[in-house]
Amino acid sequence: MVKIAVMGDYDSIYGFAAIGLSTFPIRDNSAEEGAKILRNLAGNGFGVIYITEELAAVLAGEISRYRSMTAPAIILIPGVRGNTGEGVSSVKKSVEQAVGSDILFSG
């Protein structure tokens, strides 16, 4: 079974624990704390890591280290402060890279 984690501010992620996902709240979207936890999760068998868009903006450099790997899959999700559009943009880029064209949003 694939282990799934969710990282971000507490208010955005606490509900995911109710459906059995491992949650890792990051205080004040701390880059240092977030990077340390992300590396720990990636090194300990988590196959999917959801990260709030706001935290992902702070961890962009760290996240880029995992983009070419098959695991963990890092998926951006909106937080309680709203959607920045980065999650959709990230999925779009991944699909374009895999398929070779924009099949999600083309005319």
- CATH for 3-99 is 3.40.50.10580
pLDDT at 66: 86
What global pTM score does this model have? 0.78
What are the pLDDT tens digits along the chain (107 aa)? 789 999 999 999 999 999 999 999 999 989 999 999 999 999 999 999 999 999 999 999 999 888 878 789 898 988 887 666 665 565 555 545 545 555 555 54
- The DSSP code sequence of the chain is --EEEEEE-HHHHGGGGGGT-EEEE-GGG-HHHHHHHHHHHHHTTEEEEEEEHHHHHHTHHHHHTTTTSSSSEEEEE-BTTB--SHHHHHHHHHHHHHHSS--SS--
